[in-house]
Amino acid sequence: MTTFHGTTILCVRKDGRVALGGDGQVTIGDTVMKATATKVRSLKNGRVLAGFAGSVADAITLFEKFEEKLDRYPGNLSRASVELAKDWRSDKVLRRLEAMLLLADQERSYMLSGSGELFEPDDGVLAVGSGGNYAIAAARALLPDPSKNARDIVQRSLEIAADICVFTNKYLTILELPA
């Protein structure tokens, strides 16, 4: 699996709630170009959350393509995700895009990779980006804590990733879907 440097995106499901967050650092090589980027967004009137790791321009293109799929298959995150994965895998232009997406609605969460792979987690936790492994490990450790909700877990896990990964900072954007 490709790891993109310059960000950490994390999605957590717990107790009927979904939180998706990311840091704000944009890095080119070993230079921080921007510290306050927003790499997560709400789509379809707040019913779908999406976040990206990788090239910003490529991710914006993928967001647009994904929104087209959501328009074509209203309310069906699974079908829209599968259709985008098929396009991403087979289209010559899309195949060259260097980004990964995390997508979530009230029912499902997916990671969509540049090779057209589509993953749904067993435990409701997904992460991408250079700090993704740190964030997912922290989230899985925090998940059983009854005092922490999905948002709390995303926030603390991203903070831990930022303490470890030089391509991740603590300027966080966290979005939630209600129960």
The tens digit of pLDDT for each residue in 85-102 reads: 888 777 666 666 677 889
Compute the distance between CA of residue 82 and CA of residue 118 in angstroms, rounded to an integer.
Answer: 7
- β-partners of residue 126 are 11
Residue 116 or residue 52, greater confidence: 52
Which whole-number Å values give the CA distances from 33 to 16, 22, 41, 56, 95, in the listed order? 37, 16, 21, 12, 26
51-67 pLDDT, tens digit per residue, is: 998 777 777 878 888 89
Q: Enumerate residues 6+ apart whose C-beta is below 8 A from 70.
A: 43, 44, 48, 76, 77, 80
Could you tell me if 23 and 7 are in contact, meaning their C-beta atoms sit under 8 angstroms apart?
Answer: yes
Residue 167, judged by CB atoms within 10 A of its CB (0-12, 13-18, 19+), counts as buried
Q: Are 119 and 7 in contact (CB under 8 A)?
A: no
Catalytic residues: 7
Q: Residues 118-134: pLDDT tens digits?
A: 999 999 999 999 999 99
Greatest extent of the chain over all pairs of C-alpha atoms, in Å: 47
Closest alpha carbon to 80 in 26, 44, 40 = 44
**What CATH code is assigned to 8-165?**
3.60.20.10
Instruction: Calculate mean pLDDT across residues 47-54.
Output: 91
